[in-house]
C-alpha cells in the first residue's frame, strides 16, 4: 500500500504529492467501487489533475507502475472540490464565520474589514447587519440572542440585544491593544458568557518586553461582568482559546506565548486544573471535542506542529503528526457530530517549500489525511480559520475556511457510514 497525499487545490483541480520516486498512474471515478479513467501518469513529486467539476464526489486511486505493470496501489480517496466565495473590498463577503443553526454570521467584511454580515443560504448571498467603520475582530451570539462584537480601536466589546439593530459599548478591556477574536468567546449551559483577552502589548518605554493581559471575563445572563485574574501571572502575553465542551460543560482556557498551557474548570471558572506536564508547552490555539475526547492543535515553529487529544484531562497524546510538507502553525480546529474533524495549517512563516492545508479525520480522530491545499503565499492565501458554532462544532452541509481570495466551502456530499452521495 502506498500513501500519497491527494488534495483538492482549486475549484477544478486536485494535486497529488508523491513522496516516492515511483511512477504513479491515477484513476478518477464518480462511481464508488469503479476504477474509472486514467487522468494522469507521472513520477513528479507534485502534479495536478485538472478538468474536474464542483459538487461532484470523486473516487481517486493511485497505482504504482513498474515496467508497465501496476504493482501496488493507494487507498481510494473520496474528494469533493472546494468552491471559492471571492472577497472584494466592495462586497459583503466576510473573513471569519460563526454559525447559529443554519444562519452564518461573518465578520471583517468589506474594504475596512468593518462589516458584520449574515447569510441564510450557506454563503451564496450575504446581508449587512452593520458597518462599524473600523476593523472588527470577533463576533459571538449567545443563547439569549445577544450579539457581541470586539474591535481594537477602543479596546471595547459592543453588545446588541435586538438582533443587531442597536449597539452599545458593554465591556472595556484592561489595555489598549487588547481584543477578542472569534476564538475568544464561549458560553456554558448555565448561560455564562466567557471572553478571553488577546493581544500583544508592550510596556511603555520597553519595546523588548511584554505585558500579560491574560484576563478572563465572565458575564451572567449577559449583564453583570466579573474579571478572573487567574491566568495573568502564568504567561507573558494573552489568552488564546476559550472553549466549553458541550459533552461535559467544562470550561477550557489556553494561554501563550511564552508559557503555553491548557487549563480547565468544572465549576464555571471558580477553580482550575492544568492538563499536561509543567514545562511542556501545550497552549493550543484551537480546541474542539468529540464524544469523550478533547482535541488541540499546535501553533509552534515549522515541522513541530501536531494535533493532540486527551481522554482523561491529565495528559495529552499525539493524534496526528502533520506531514512535513504541510507542517506549519495551526490556528483552528472544529468537529461535526458524525465524527468528522477539520483543522487548518497556516503558512505563517511564508516558507516556499511548505503548503497551507486543511486536514481531516472522518472517524473521530483515529485516522487523518490532508484534504485541501493552497500555496499560502502571501499569507492571506493560507487557510487560517474554519467556521464553527459556540461549541467548536458545525451541523452545516459544508466545511468553511478563509483562504485563497476570500472564503472557500467544501460540500459534505456523503455520509461516512455508507459513502452514498446526498443532496442539499
In this structure, what is the dihedral angle of CA atoms 188, 189, 193, 199, given to the nearest 10 degrees? 10
Cis upstream peptide for 6 (omega within 30°)? no
Q: What's residue 415's pLDDT?
A: 52
Q: What is the mean pLDDT of residues 148-173?
A: 94
pLDDT in tens, 324-376: 999 999 999 999 988 899 999 998 899 999 999 999 999 999 999 999 999 88
Give the pLDDT band of residue 263 (cuts 50, 70, 90). Answer: very high
* pLDDT tier, 110 (very low <50, low <70, confident <90, very high otherwise): confident
Q: Are 198 and 240 in contact (CB under 8 A)?
A: yes
158 pLDDT higher than 60:
yes
Tell me the three cell numbers of residue 228: 478572573
Pairing of strands 273-275, 261-265: antiparallel
Q: What are 278-336's pLDDT values in tens digits?
A: 888 888 999 999 988 999 999 999 999 999 999 999 999 999 999 999 999 999 999 99
pTM of the model: 0.94
Q: What is the pLDDT of residue 379?
A: 80
Candidates 402, 323, 317; CA nearest to 359 is 323
pLDDT of residue 423 exceeding 50: no
Q: What percent of the chain has pLDDT over 70?
A: 97
Q: What is the pLDDT, as a whole number, of residue 404?
A: 60
Is pLDDT of 416 > 60?
Answer: no
Domain architecture of the chain: domains with CATH: 5-79 (2.60.40.10), 86-411 (2.130.10.10)
Cell reading at 359: 486536514
Can you give the pLDDT at residue 109? 85
pLDDT of 422 reads 40
Q: How far apart are CA 263 and CA 280, in angstroms?
A: 13
User: Each residue of 389-401: pLDDT tens digit?
Assistant: 999 999 898 999 9
As given in the structure block, the three cell numbers for residue 139 are: 463576533
Q: What is the mean pLDDT of residues 47-56?
A: 94
Burial class from Cβ neighbours inside 10 Å (0-12, 13-18, 19+) for residue 231 reads buried
What pLDDT does residue 406 have? 77
Amino acid at each position: 500500500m502506498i500513501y500519497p497525499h491527494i488534495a483538492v487545490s482549486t475549484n477544478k483541480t486536485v494535486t497529488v504529492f508523491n513522496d516516492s520516486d515511483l511512477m504513479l498512474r491515477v484513476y478518477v471515478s464518480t462511481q464508488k467501487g469503479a476504477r474509472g479513467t486514467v487522468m494522469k501518469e507521472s513520477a513528479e513529486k507534485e502534479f495536478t489533475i485538472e478538468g474536474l467539476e464542483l459538487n461532484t464526489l470523486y473516487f481517486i486511486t493511485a497505482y504504482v507502475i513498474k515496467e508497465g505493470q501496476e504493482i501496488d496501489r493507494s487507498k481510494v480517496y473520496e474528494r469533493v472540490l472546494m468552491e471559492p466565495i471571492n472577497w472584494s473590498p466592495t462586497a459583503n463577503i466576510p473573513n471569519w464565520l460563526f454559525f447559529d443553526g443554519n444562519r452564518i454570521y461573518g465578520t471583517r467584511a468589506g474594504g475596512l474589514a468593518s462589516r458584520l454580515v449574515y447569510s441564510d443560504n450557506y454563503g451564496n448571498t450575504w446581508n449587512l447587519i452593520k458597518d462599524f467603520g473600523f476593523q472588527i475582530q470577533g463576533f459571538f451570539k449567545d443563547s439569549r440572542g445577544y450579539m457581541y462584537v470586539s474591535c481594537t480601536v477602543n479596546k471595547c466589546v459592543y453588545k446588541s440585544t435586538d438582533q443587531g439593530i442597536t449597539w452599545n459599548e458593554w465591556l472595556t478591556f484592561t489595555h489598549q491593544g487588547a481584543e477578542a477574536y472569534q476564538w475568544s468567546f464561549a458560553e456554558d449551559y448555565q448561560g455564562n458568557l466567557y471572553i478571553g483577552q488577546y493581544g500583544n502589548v508592550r510596556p511603555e518605554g520597553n519595546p523588548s518586553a511584554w505585558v500579560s493581559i491574560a484576563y478572563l471575563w465572565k458575564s451572567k445572563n449577559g449583564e453583570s461582568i466579573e474579571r478572573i485574574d487567574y491566568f495573568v501571572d502564568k504567561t507573558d502575553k494573552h489568552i488564546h482559546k476559550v472553549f466549553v465542551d458541550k459533552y461535559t460543560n467544562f470550561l477550557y482556557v489556553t494561554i501563550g506565548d511564552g508559557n503555553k498551557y491548557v487549563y480547565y474548570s468544572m465549576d464555571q471558572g471558580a477553580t482550575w486544573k492544568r492538563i499536561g506536564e509543567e514545562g511542556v508547552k501545550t497552549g493550543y490555539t484551537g480546541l474542539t471535542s468529540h464524544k469523550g475526547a478533547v482535541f488541540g492543535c499546535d501553533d509552534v515553529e515549522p515541522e513541530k506542529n501536531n494535533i493532540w487529544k486527551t481522554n482523561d484531562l491529565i495528559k495529552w497524546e499525539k493524534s496526528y503528526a502533520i506531514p512535513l510538507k504541510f507542517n506549519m502553525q495551526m490556528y483552528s480546529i472544529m468537529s461535526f457530530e458524525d465524527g468528522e474533524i477539520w483543522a487548518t495549517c497556516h503558512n505563517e512563516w511564508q516558507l516556499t517549500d511548505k503548503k497551507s492545508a486543511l486536514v481531516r479525520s472522518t472517524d473521530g480522530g483515529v485516522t487523518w489525511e490532508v484534504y485541501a491545499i493552497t500555496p499560502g503565499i502571501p499569507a492571506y492565501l493560507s487557510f487560517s480559520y474554519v467556521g464553527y458554532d459556540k461549541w467548536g462544532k458545525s451541523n452545516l452541509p459544508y466545511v468553511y475556511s478563509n483562504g485563497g481570495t476570500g472564503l472557500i466551502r467544501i460540500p459534505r456530499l456523503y455520509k461516512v457510514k455508507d459513502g452514498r452521495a446526498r443532496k442539499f
